[in-house]
Amino acid sequence: MDTTKTPDAPEAETTPADLTKAESAVEPAAVEPTAVEPAAAEPAAVELADEELTDDEFADEQAEAQESGHVGSAAFGIVAAGLGAVALSGSWIGGIVAERARVTSQLKLSQAADVNAQIAAQFVDPWHTTALVNGVFSALALIIGILVLALPALGTPQRTLPAWVRSVSWAGVALGAIGVLLFVLMYFDLLLAIPAPAAG
């Protein structure tokens, strides 16, 4: 029986070159996840920024549309109030038309015209003409004021007029209604009676 022991195989010695190869084989696997994470997060941030810009632009467009609508309503409300004030105080148009009616009536008179004809030429015709002109201004003020106040009901539900625009429009409606009432009273001689000659 052979008792001679075979020497164990010498352990392989680790060289610096082997360590470098092992480290280079491990590093890519450890680095890859960290390199992917920022790339995955960037699209979400870009999409969020795009959504915020879109919302801001939509809000700006809505604000501009409402502002332009309010400017037009305010202008028409002021026009209604102005027409109502002119109808009550009188205008140069009414004065010119009344004077023309007076001259026309006088030209139609004859030398033998009676007193009633002279009163009609001097007073009644210009009076009625002035009432008619003021009545037209009053009707326009009333119609425009009502249309301005009715715009929110005809438009989108979110559209509302500023308080001062509603106040001016209501003023135009009130002045127009008073002017129309005065027109009826003046034109049909209900406010003041026609002058009559004294009984001789």
Per-residue pLDDT tens digits for 8-28: 545 555 555 555 555 555 444
CA 138, 142, 144: angle at the middle one, nearest 5?
115
pLDDT over 50 (residue 46): no
DSSP structure class, residue 2: -
pLDDT of residue 111: 63
Q: How confident is the model at residue 168 (pLDDT cuts 50, 70, 90)?
A: very high
Per-residue pLDDT tens digits for 120-131: 888 888 889 999
Residue scoring higher pLDDT (184 or 29)? 184
pLDDT of residue 19: 54
Report, in this order, helix, strand and coil percent for the chain, each rounded to 5: 80, 0, 20
**Listed range (45-54, 73-82, 108-117, 174-183) with the worst mean pLDDT:** 45-54
**pLDDT > 70: percent of the chain:** 60
pLDDT of residue 179: 95
